[in-house]
A and B are shown apart, each in its own frame.
Chain A
Amino acid sequence: MTQRPLSPRLSIYRWHPQALASIAHRASGLVLIAAIPSYLYVLNGLTGDDASFRATIALLQSPLSRLLLWLIGIALIYHLANGIRFLCLDTGLGEKREMLRKSALAMLMIAAAAAVVLAVVLI
């Protein structure tokens, strides 16, 4: 069987904002999937007895947790913003090439801004 290319061939296309926004949507989605069990674990600890609550708060406040919450927050805000962009595209809003490029850049800038704001909140 001949080796046919997979559809999004990340290694051969020239990078442009639209492609980066699209692959970042998938990457942030995977990060958020990984965050689901962590959220439920923390929720379970927070709603246990008093000792369990205090231990879970201490866990949340550890440097590693703050780093993870920072990453999850960037992924969440990016995925949310770009998801709304995708929903707009589904309705036919902003489908012109130049608009696609600009909105993709705007989403990436939102993620950068979220990284700064969340860093301030979490430190």
Chain B
Amino acid sequence: MKDDYLGAAGNGFGDWMWQRASAIVLALTLPFPFTLMLCLTGGHIDQQTLFDLLAHPFVRSAHSLLVMALLLHAYLGLKVIMEDYVPALVLRLPALLVAMLLALGTGTWALAMIWSW
């Protein structure tokens, strides 16, 4: 069969591709909030400067993209780990469902916050 590489369910490529696509987005964006946290811990940034940065239209968009890529990447990574260490489907499926709901809830809250400033 020519589609053997997709696995028995016929859609094995999707997770693999999204994990890597989100990885590239995260590699380009995630260093910024981490550096920001380091600067804030160092006491180098006042609140007005922070707002000017966070409320910039480009930063809002990049921040939103980061949050979506991050939660997708986290969910897919958790899924791969659980497929190895939680063989019982009766445990794994509900756990992944909870993880997905948490990711969606967290993402909604984060996006609402990012666009509220």
Main secondary structure of the interface of A (DSSP, over half): helix
Given A6-B84, A29-B77, A33-B74, A65–B41 Cβ distance below 8 Å?
yes
Whether B33 is near chain A, meaning CB under 8 Å from some CB there, is: yes
Task: Determine whether the beta carbon of A69 is less than 8 Å from that of B38.
Answer: yes
Segment among A13-21, A46-54, A93-101, A102-110 that sits at the interface with chain B: A46-54
Interface size class of B (residues with CB under 8 A): 20 to 34
Residues of chain B with a CB closer than 8 A to A46's CB: 40, 47, 50
Task: Determine whether the beta carbon of B71 is less than 8 Å from that of A80.
Answer: no
Whether B51 is near chain A, meaning CB under 8 Å from some CB there, is: yes
Task: Determine whether the beta carbon of A26 is less than 8 Å from that of B20.
Answer: no
Residues of chain B with a CB closer than 8 A to A8's CB: 84
Task: Determine whether the beta carbon of B20 is less than 8 Å from that of A90.
Answer: yes
Whether B23 is near chain A, meaning CB under 8 Å from some CB there, is: yes
Q: Which of A6, A30, A40, A50 contacts B109 (CB 8 A)?
A: A40
Given A6-B85, A6-B87, A7-B84, A122–B37 Cβ distance below 8 Å?
no
A-B contact count, CB below 8 Å? 74
Interface residues on chain A, number (Cβ under 8 Å):
35
3 closest residue pairs by CB, A with B? A53-B47, A60-B41, A33-B74
> A30-B81, A46-B47, A122-B38 given. 11 additional CB < 8 A pairs?
A26-B77, A29-B77, A30-B78, A33-B74, A40-B106, A43-B113, A47-B50, A65-B41, A76-B30, A76-B31, A121-B42
Can you list 17 pairs linking A and B with CB atoms under 8 Å apart?
A6-B84, A6-B85, A6-B87, A32-B74, A47-B50, A50-B47, A53-B50, A57-B40, A60-B41, A66-B41, A69-B37, A73-B38, A80-B27, A83-B23, A90-B20, A121-B38, A122-B38
